[in-house]
Amino acid sequence: MWSTQGISKILGVRIPLIQAPMAGPVTTPELIAAVANAGGLGSLGAGYMNPNDMRNTISAIRQLTDKPFAVNLFVPENHSASVEQLKTMQTILTNVCQELKIEIDVPRAPFLPAFDEQIEIIIEEKIPICSFTFGVPSQTSIAKLKKQNIILIGTATCLEEAKLLENSGMDIIVAQGSEAGGHRGTFARPYDEGLIGLMALVPQLVDHIQLPIVAAGGIMDTRGIRAAFALGAAGVQMGTAFLACPESGVSAIFQKILLHNDKTTLTNAYSGKYVRALRNKFIENMKPYAAQILNYPIQNNMTIPLRKEAIKKENLDFIAMWSGQAAYLSQAISAAELIKKWDEELQK
């Protein structure tokens, strides 16, 4: 059985399963709608989207489903880089990526779309659920969203962050274990102090936080789902499990190696913020330059051309492959089939 204490009622969905928001190409309208139509909560990773892209993608999702879905945003953080630091990283990336034969440009501000404008789109489009990572949004943003009765979900990687999110007015907290693919959501501590395994993290949050806790990190099938509920979670958020689905927007070559790869690592070389990804040559070759990595999201913008070129050339040495630790359990079947399978297994 799916947990009956779950978050389904709050979110207006059949089952307490959230398809993780995954900024970039992953969370296509097709993937979000497939999860929503199968009874879970699809989420659009809109962290890097400008208002127009958000509007168009939301409209495309609504062509495919009339079920609720969430939109996820990145809480902004301070960042800066001197001209000298930018030039140094430009030289480093040019050297490390020589074989891609691309020019590395120095990116210009603004490095991310305006958060306040993204919030306005959520309100205008009457999105029922908004989730966040990388911090606690301002009280002004929270008040605006709450006025529209939008359900708010925050991401915590330790108890301290969960308390900050609870006090800010969030409705649900995602506990992101260290197994999780993608960026670490850690914001109140150095990233390594937020590397807590899901088995240790979930019960601590369940015991000390009054809000429903959703477990995220390394959950790939009903064994993980059952374990999360046994720890007291009110729901699960799964990202890597959906990467190999035909509806996901990641490159075919990444999907292929995901199925047979158990080598993830943490790196900040792609974006300036630590992320769990499949190991590759770029990550290894950037290790000597740890001290020169620029603040997130400046480093992120500087590596965009190399990531795009790597996908074009199908060069796994450079493709950014965000993935959780349990990637080897991935299945290349549709999201609807995956959820049907989990439904059936949980009936037993």
Q: Exactly one of 65, 141, 155, 280 binds ligand FMN (CB under 6 A); which one?
A: 155
Instruction: Tell me the window of 141-149, 188-196, 202-210, 212-220 that interacts with ligand FMN (CB under 6 A).
Output: 212-220
Site for ligand FMN in 302-341 (CB under 6 A): 322-324, 326
Told to check if 170 binds ligand FMN by CB under 6 A, we report no
Instruction: Tell me the window of 81-89, 90-98, 102-110, 216-224 that interacts with ligand FMN (CB under 6 A).
Output: 216-224
Cβ-based nearer residue to ligand FMN, 179 or 247? 179
Told to check if 342 binds ligand FMN by CB under 6 A, we report no
Structure-token pair, residue 312: 């074009």
3-state SS, one letter per residue, for the chain: CCCCCCCHHHHCCCCCEEECCCCCCCCCHHHHHHHHHCCCEEEEECCCCCHHHHHHHHHHHHHHCCCCEEEEEECCCCCCCCHHHHHHHHHHHHHHCHHHCCCCCCCCCCCCCCHHHHHHHHHHCCCCEEEEECCCCCHHHHHHHHHCCCEEEEEECCHHHHHHHHHHCCCEEEEECCCCCEECCCCCCCHHHHCCCHHHHHHHHHHHCCCCEEEECCCCCHHHHHHHHHCCCCEEEECHHHCCCCCCCCCHHHHHHHCCCCCEEEECCCCCCCEEEECCHHHHHCHHHHHHCCCCCHHHHHHHHHHHHHHHCCCCCCCCCECCCCHHHCCCCCHHHHHHHHHHHHHC
Told to check if 22 binds ligand FMN by CB under 6 A, we report yes
Least distance from C-beta 201 to ligand FMN, angstroms? Answer: 12
The contact mask relative to ligand FMN for 236-255 (x = CB under 6 A, - = no) is -xxxxx--------------
Phi then psi for residue 231, to 5 deg, are: -80, -5
Q: Exactly one of 8, 72, 186, 334 binds ligand FMN (CB under 6 A); which one?
A: 72
Q: Exactly one of 212, 218, 272, 297 binds ligand FMN (CB under 6 A); which one?
A: 218
Instruction: Tell me the window of 58-66, 108-116, 165-173, 213-221 that interacts with ligand FMN (CB under 6 A).
Output: 213-221
Instruction: Tell me the window of 91-99, 139-147, 231-239, 283-291 that interacts with ligand FMN (CB under 6 A).
Output: 231-239
Instruction: Tell me the window of 14-22, 97-105, 286-294, 309-317 that interacts with ligand FMN (CB under 6 A).
Output: 14-22
Told to check if 181 binds ligand FMN by CB under 6 A, we report yes
Cβ-based nearer residue to ligand FMN, 43 or 295? 43
Cβ-based nearer residue to ligand FMN, 182 or 272? 182
What is the binding site for ligand FMN (CB under 6 A)?
A: 20-23, 26, 45, 47, 72, 133, 155, 176, 179-182, 216-219, 237-241, 322-324, 326
